[in-house]
Structure 1
Amino acid sequence: MSGTVQQQDQQLEAAILELLDGRAPAATICPSDAARAVHDGDDDGWRALMDPARRAARRLVAAGEVEITQGGRPVDPDEVRGPIRIRRSR
Structure 2
Amino acid sequence: MTPSDDRIADEITAQVIDRGAGKTICPSEVARALGADWRALMPQVRRVAGDLAKEGRIAVTQKGETVDAETARGPIRLGLAQETD
Instruction: For 2:55 and 2:25, locate their aligned partners in 1 and report how far apart those are by CA, in whole Å.
Output: 18
Instruction: For 2:4 and 2:70, locate their aligned partners in 1 and report how far apart those are by CA, in whole Å.
Output: 21
- Cα deviation, 1:2-53, whole Å, max 9, x if unaligned, reads xx76x521111110000011112111011111111111x4xxx111101100
Structure 2 counterpart of 1:62, from 54, 60, 65:
54
SS at match of 1:68: strand
Which aligned segments of 4 or more residues in structure 1 are displaced greater than 4 angstroms?
none
Q: Structure 2 stretches of 5 or more lacking a match? A: none
Which residue is 2:72 aligned to? 80
SS at match of 1:22: helix
Q: Structure 1 stretches of 5 or more lacking a match? A: none
- Paired residues, number: 82
Which residue is 2:39 aligned to? 47
Task: Please report how far the alpha carbon of residue 76 of structure 1 lies from its aligned counterpart in structure 2 after TM superposition.
Answer: 3.3
- Look at both structures and tell me which one has the larger radius of gyration over its CA atoms: 1
RMSD: 1.7
Task: Please report how far the alpha carbon of residue 86 of structure 1 lies from its aligned counterpart in structure 2 after TM superposition.
Answer: 0.6
Task: Please report how far the alpha carbon of residue 78 of structure 1 lies from its aligned counterpart in structure 2 after TM superposition.
Answer: 5.1
* TM-score scaled by length of structure 1: 0.80
Instruction: For 2:64 and 2:12, locate their aligned partners in 1 and report how far apart those are by CA, in whole Å.
Output: 18
SS at match of 2:72: coil
Structure 2 counterpart of 1:31, from 16, 27, 35:
27
